[in-house]
Structure 1
Amino acid sequence: MKLRGKQKSFLRSEAHHLNPVVQIGKSGLSETLLDQIDECLERRELIKVSLLQNTEETAKDVAEVIEETLHADVVQMIGRVLVVFRPSSKEKYQRVSQQVRVL
């Protein structure tokens, strides 16, 4: 889903009060961690991912991997924190994506 400017702005405002759900540490971006991010996106649609100081990954590299493998949109990247959005495939979890479609 390609997001327009208004939609990205809305998602950034919704994510402002969220705490990071996933933290990438010393072990880096593994398959298990990608599965965890995938599961969080399925249930929440909008999450924050933070990179700890001891990781060797860069925020740009992590954003590219998330976009390619999980087919999610990185809405915002501030320092070591990423805001990630992907509409849920289950209707009961589609709270944010319904509001995004209206915009």
Structure 2
Amino acid sequence: MITGKQRSYLKKIANNIDSIFQLGKNGITEAFINQVEEALEARELIKIKVLNNSFLDTKEAANEVADRVNAEFVQSIGSKFVIYRESEENKKIELPN
């Protein structure tokens, strides 16, 4: 569980990154989850865009993806959301206490 201070720090970092995944009409598939797992291990913080043709609400999608990959939901703005999970081998982000 991350604190408010840590969440603010992650939001600041996420402001400068682009979406690396798009969630469309196929929804949250096993292949999508596997790709998100790999990206989180490599980057720790990722942004995902929910397309208009998706049947999922952005917050619902964010919470489901975060739960399935054991990550922390950071924020959602419009059709994009950000999740964070500390990497086991490629730790890049040092969270404040």
- TM-score normalised by length of structure 2: 0.94
Taking only aligned residues, the RMSD between alpha carbons, in angstroms, comes to: 1.0
Structure 1: 5+ residue runs without aligned partners?
none
Structure 2: 5+ residue runs without aligned partners?
none
**Which secondary structure state, in structure 2, belongs to the residue aligned with residue 54 of structure 1?**
coil
For the 8 Å contact 1:21–1:47, the answer to whether it is kept is yes
Q: Which letter maps to 1:10?
A: Y
Distance in 1, Cα, partners of 2:43 & 2:59 = 23
Whether 1:83 aligns to 2:79 is no
Distance in 2, Cα, partners of 1:72 & 1:43 = 14
**Which secondary structure state, in structure 1, belongs to the residue aligned with residue 81 of structure 2?**
strand
Distance in 2, Cα, partners of 1:81 & 1:67 = 13
- Residues 25-46 of structure 1: CA deviation (Å, up to 9, x unaligned): 1211111001111110010000
For the 8 Å contact 2:19–2:48, the answer to whether it is kept is yes
For the 8 Å contact 2:24–2:54, the answer to whether it is kept is yes
For the 8 Å contact 2:28–2:65, the answer to whether it is kept is no
Distance in 2, Cα, partners of 1:75 & 1:10 = 10
% identical equivalent positions: 33
Q: Which letter maps to 1:18?
A: I
Whether 1:58 aligns to 2:57 is yes
